Amino acid sequence: MESSKIQQFLEGKTIFITGATGFLAKILVEKILRVQPNMKKLYLLVRASDTKSAKKRFYEEVMQTELFKVLREKIGAKNLNSLVEEKVFPVAGDISFEDFGIENSEIKDEMFKEIDIIINSAATTRFDERYDCTVNVLKFGKRCEKVKIIVHVSTAYVCGEGEGVISEKSFILGETLNKNSYLDIDVERKVIEDKLKELEAQNLTSKEVMIAMKDLGIQRATLHGWPNTYSFTKAMGEMLLGHLKENLQLVIIRPTIITSTYIEPFPGWIEGVKTVDSFILGYGKGILNFCFGDPNTKVDAIPGDMVVNSILAAIIAHGKQYYSSQESIYHISSSEKNPLKSCDIQLFLFHYFTKNPWINKDGNIVKVGTPLLFSSMDSFQNYISTYYWPLLKILELANLLSWRRFDKTYKNLERKIDMAIRLAELYKPYLLFHGSFDDVNTERLRMAMKECNMDDVLSFDPRCIKWEDYFMNTHLPGAVKRIF
């Protein structure tokens, strides 16, 4: 049994997880409850106004998901409810505030005394919040009496648009990717503060402020060599953690493109539209007819349950002090050990949706052709300019001359073009990536799990993945069922 093979795995420990309603955190919570119900407590930070609201959101958005069906069947619904009631404590708070804005001083004091492990899996969305959120996690950890390790979930793409083999190395505070500038994080914070004051004085709507801050984030990222705000702020977060951690053991997990579960708790579970799934969704529904990458470009994908297993493996390895602090960054990736190519995904999509066509809302079968494969943004933009913009202009004129007879057709084409351009700009850094991720540290972590006979319970070796079988029989069916 899993529990007997993992005897002391987190037993008696109190764990704190941020971003508790997110995709990875849900898989993590389910895994812990399933393999180690003897942990002491599981504190979960949930964005909510009070404890009652946090519990409600946790039960509705986490416990009632399909993800927990295996555990529910294994121990029974009543026993699962009792386990959660006894061990799991949703805490109302917000990662963007110091001490997460936890207002209940009694709960906060208990957390400071009890927490052994912090796992930061929160995914903030605003440029003006992201790296400050990371520092808030570290400050909170320093106030906890027993915390020995903080696991921070970052992204492998902090490297920007790198080429060649990308090593598992840490950032130096102030380092930039273009090497022509110095990244002063205090300056970046001041730029944000000044911009927010300027926007506030203009009495703009929250949406207008969000758009303006998004544009600012892209400008600052580009200035220092990063392709987008997400990878830029993740890199700054890593820098600050490394610089400020002092005696705390810090583990940084850098996953690549996260896909649906490979095995646990069952294959194919996914939630929300991820990187590759945006194109799957658009292609299957007949909205898009293209993918990115030259035929041999590596698309680095890794199933969500493997990422979670790597997090738990790192906690065990560092908790037992198998490694020195210099080995605390892990690429959770597939490009070195089991590369997936753009042309493979192109064929998987075509074969799957040819055999399993989407039925639209009118009851009609959506027929797909082999998706086009663009190896650069220039080739994509030329294609749009040559084939779609002229057609849209013709439709616009015909629509005006015919008293809007072609209004629906015009709007549908406009929507397709807008979606194609938006997705191309958003995901270019990941799907037109020309590097691969070294995983020397991660391989040592896998070996450590093998030595203590936990490599099957905490499996995260991408070499076992048969990509065609995974996409055709697991990921694509899972995405169609749970996202479409």
Which residues have CB under 8 Å from 445's CB, separation 6+? Answer: 310, 313, 314, 317, 330
Structure token digits, residue 463: 């070499």
Q: Is 234 a catalytic residue?
A: yes
- Other C-beta atoms lying within 10 Å of the C-beta of residue 4: 6
| CA nearest to 251, candidates 332, 140, 188 | 332
- CA pseudo-torsion sign 41, 45, 46, 51: positive
Contact 330, 441 (CB under 8 A): yes
Helix (H) or strand (E) holding 351: helix 342-355
Helix (H) or strand (E) holding 414: helix 407-431
3-state SS class at 358? coil
Q: CA–CA separation, 147 vs 112, rounded Å?
A: 9
Catalytic residue among 13, 234, 298, 428: 234
Contact 242, 152 (CB under 8 A): no
DSSP 176-188: -SSSSS---HHHH
Q: Determine phi and psi for 76, rounding to 5 degrees.
A: 95, 145
| Alpha helices by DSSP H, 44-170 | 51-58, 69-75, 77-87, 105-114, 130-143
Q: Is 230 a catalytic residue?
A: yes
Helix (H) or strand (E) holding 35: helix 23-35
Catalytic residue among 157, 230, 352, 427: 230
Q: Which residues are tagged catalytic?
A: 230, 234
